[in-house]
Amino acid sequence: MTNTERTKFREILMRKQTELEAGSLSRGALAIETSPEELDRIQNAHERDLAIDALDRESMRSREVQAALKRIETNTFGVCVNCEEDISTRRLAAIPWAELCIVCQEVADKKTTESWDADESPLASAA
């Protein structure tokens, strides 16, 4: 990867980091509200769960972006952390914080899917 490409990706990642910091959801959405109505309590709990999930995703993406910026600083950006092969520029253009090449990412995704399938018990699917 050339220095020009590395600089371009650094700028993209810095913009993404700024976007994530500016767009952080208000923690007010996590406030626990009490209501005498059961449906209101269920609605509030559901909205709180959605807000927690969104905060979790933003936090994870922020860590991924920070890790990618660190890889740029250490000149390991664009190299798969698993197999140490180059990550295609096309993949990095789509997902600049990618730490795995497409082959290793597919293997990781498959393992994750298999572990989810293994975690399902007959009782869980009956519920």
- Tell me, what's the pLDDT at 83? 97
Please, what is the average pLDDT of the chain? 85
Q: CA angle at residue 120 from 115 to 124, to 5 degrees?
A: 155
Q: Please tell me whether residue 75 adopts helix, strand or coil conformation.
A: coil
Position 123 pLDDT exceeds 60: no
DSSP class of residue 116? H
Gap between the Cα atoms of 34 and 66, Å rounded: 38
Dihedrals phi, psi of 86, to nearest 5 degrees: -65, 140
DSSP class of residue 10? H
Position 6 pLDDT exceeds 90: yes
- Given pLDDT bands bounded at 50, 70 and 90, which one contains residue 127? very low
DSSP class of residue 86? B
- Given pLDDT bands bounded at 50, 70 and 90, which one contains residue 4? very high
- Tell me, what's the pLDDT at 37? 84
The structural domains of the chain, ordered by start, are 3-126 (1.20.120.910)
- Percent of the chain at pLDDT > 70 equals 82
Pinpoint the alpha helices (H) of 74-127: 89-94, 102-119, 122-126
pLDDT digits (tens, 9 = 90+) for 32-72: 667 778 888 888 888 888 888 888 899 999 999 999 999 99
